[in-house]
Amino acid sequence: MIDTAPFGRTGHDSSRVIFGAAALGRMSQERADETLAVLPEFGVNHIDTAASYGDSELRLAPWLAEHRDEVFLASKTGDRSGDAARASLERSLERLGVDHVDLIQLHNLVEEDEWEQAFAPGGAVDALDRARNEGLTRFIGVTGHGLRIAGMHLRSLERFDFDSVLLPYNFLLLRNAGYRAAVEELLELCATRQVAVQTIKSLARRRWDDADEEKRFSWYKPVEDLDVLGRAVRFVLANPQVFLNTSSDARLLRPALEAATTGGATPTDAEMAADALAQGMQPLFDGGELERI
């Protein structure tokens, strides 16, 4: 079974590996049910979805009807105005078939104009705070992509006491000195304030290019070699402060969960660098043209 750890100050001990339900977005219900059946096998008790993940919330609903009390349930809204964010949350509750989520997150809050709108009076932050007071959610978080996001999360935490953050975290991205410094500053603040830290893109290999002909199940080309995948998982989980969110490529779910339960030595930087070279890995983000997914 996968180890658990306190999810920030929420009072919930979450599995160190969180199911990224973007994987369900384009699945049939039958395939989604088969995928979700894997979670209790490994003790995964935390699910992360979003309003924008295709049919993910709808695919979760039948499973949640029988297992709602067994999982910490998170969703996201990409809306920045208060009315739209509230409507998005209510729509997610309806699609999920639940009366509340445990965590609602502001999705990919990184652009300056969107940040200002979300934090303005009557913006999304105010609306979700009111929704929490009404019992529609228990906690509020913020997520994002790109090399700017660690710094933006620091700004967001200055303005509002979020319960969780989510950001990219893998060996290759952390070789960027500026990003690593911002991540380390963010981790220090989150530890002090007991803010949960979720990580994404642990199994990213590179962006797709025109020569890639295989079928695509995520917007990036993932790591598929099982030995490399295992080291990538162990690299993230070696930091006891963070949680690992699984890939939107559902084919990698069981291998990732197996890697998390099998254990093994923490990979060295030399091993990770060798994997990056052998696999032709490239950073997903560069602070410039590659910031947007």
In a domain, 44, yes or no: yes
In a domain, 216, yes or no: yes
In a domain, 229, yes or no: yes
Per-residue pLDDT, averaged over 105-127, amounts to 97
pLDDT computed for residue 263 by the predictor: 77
- Tell me the β-bridge partners of 140: 104
In a domain, 290, yes or no: no
CA separation for the pair 205, 189 (Å, rounded): 29
In a domain, 292, yes or no: no
CA separation for the pair 34, 250 (Å, rounded): 11
**How crowded is residue 144: how many other Cβ atoms within 10 Å of its Cβ?**
23
pLDDT digits (tens, 9 = 90+) for 237-263: 999 999 999 998 989 999 999 999 987
Per-residue pLDDT, averaged over 217-222, amounts to 77
pLDDT digits (tens, 9 = 90+) for 41-100: 999 999 999 999 989 999 999 999 999 999 999 999 999 999 999 999 999 999 999 999
CA separation for the pair 60, 36 (Å, rounded): 8
In a domain, 286, yes or no: no
Instruction: Check if the beta carbon of residue 206 is closer than 8 Å to that of residue 173.
Output: no
pTM: 0.95
pLDDT computed for residue 293 by the predictor: 66
In a domain, 13, yes or no: yes
- The secondary structure of the chain, three-state, reads CCCEEECCCCCCEEECEEEEHHHHCCCCHHHHHHHHCHHHHHCCCEEECCCCCCCHHHHHHHHHHHHHHHCEEEEEECCCEHHHHHHHHHHHHHHHCCCCEEEEEECCCCCHHHHHHHHCCCEHHHHHHHHHHCCCEEEEEEECCCCCHHHHHHHHHHHCCCCEEEEECCHHHHCCHHHHHHHHHHHHHHHHHCCEEEEECCCEEEECCCCCCCCCCCCEEECCCHHHHHHHHHHHHCCCCEEEECCCCHHHHHHHHHHHHHCCCCCCHHHHHHHHHHCCCCCCCCCCCCCCC
Which range marks the domain in which residue 186 is found? 4-278
**The CATH number of the domain where 206 resides is what?**
3.20.20.100
In a domain, 130, yes or no: yes
CA distances from 183 to 7, 68, 201 (A): 18, 33, 15
Per-residue pLDDT, averaged over 1-27, amounts to 96
Domain count, the chain: 1
Instruction: Check if the beta carbon of residue 261 is closer than 8 Å to that of residue 42.
Output: yes
